[in-house]
Amino acid sequence: MSELERLVLLAEDQLTEYSTDARKLEKLRQKIALSVPYSQQRQIKETLLAEMPTDPISQLIMKQRQTVALPFWGIAGLGLLLGISFMQPLDLLATAVGGAIAVGVQRRGWKLEARQLLINTLEDMESRIQNAQKTP
């Protein structure tokens, strides 16, 4: 597992906790500062910035993954309801397809949000280092 993958997993772990974004940044900053040298932090940040998608759909999924996935959950539920009530196996296909798309959207949004949290943390660390060097 590369250092980037390990840091993304740390960021995903922080997303699971119910706390403010500032607290998530602080906890992640402490973990990164102890385990990753500064030069490697900059390389990881550059890699993350290069890999982050810039298209509007990915941005929407990153910021509002629940909202984007909601219609697909609705399709899955409606397919299940109609498939059971009318004994139509074809409607159950809508359940599988809608559910799979909804889970895929949720997973992609989760990964993008974790990467964005990691970028924000690395930028925060970099700005703190620069501020510390300016003030004697």
Give the pLDDT score at 64.
Answer: 94
Residues 6+ apart with CB under 8 A from 59: 53
Query: What pLDDT was estimated at residue 136?
Result: 65
* pLDDT at site 129: 85
The tokens describing 42, both together, are 């900059």
The predicted pLDDT at position 88 comes to 80
CA gap 120, 2 in Å, rounded: 20
Mean pLDDT by 10 residues, the chain (136 residues): 89 90 91 89 92 93 94 93 84 91 96 94 90 78
| Angle at CA of residue 32, ends 26 and 37, nearest 5° | 140
Give the pLDDT confidence score for residue 57 in this predicted structure. 94
Rounded Cα gap, residues 106 and 120, in angstroms: 21
Distance of CA 38 to the CA centre of its chain: 23
